[in-house]
Amino acid sequence: MEALTSAISVQVDTHDKEIANSILKNLGLNMSTFVNMAIKQLIYRDGLPFEARNPKPSRELLEALQEGEDILSGKVKAKSYHNMYEMLEDLKK
């Protein structure tokens, strides 16, 4: 029995498509083969074949940013330096 196929039409940023096609060409693939591979992996894994999450800053980064804001606003006192060499000398102590 012959396998049935269906066409998919997708809108993609032109620049992204050019970059993707170049990468696929270097791998000896084309976009159609890649899409079919991605769909097979989606089915095989019963989910996305890659991690998909919202980029969120870590707790440590948020704390560091808040500390920086507190220093800039004068809420927290911090030692300051006139140049990098002063800071390096202080670090050596």
pTM: 0.54
Averaged over 46-64, what is the pLDDT?
A: 90
| Long-range residue pairs from 70-77, CB within 8 A, at least 24 positions apart, any chain | none
3-state secondary structure at position 14: helix
CA 1 from centroid of its chain's CA atoms:
43
Is the pLDDT at 34 greater than 90, yes or no? yes
Q: What is the pLDDT of residues 67-93, one digit of tens each?
A: 999 999 999 999 889 999 999 999 998
Length of the chain in terms of residues written = 93
Q: Which helix (H) or strand (E) holds 88?
A: helix 84-92
How many CA atoms lie less than 13 Å away from 16 in the CB half-sphere?
A: 4
Q: What is the pLDDT of residue 14?
A: 97
| Stronger pLDDT, 54 or 78, i.e. the higher one | 78
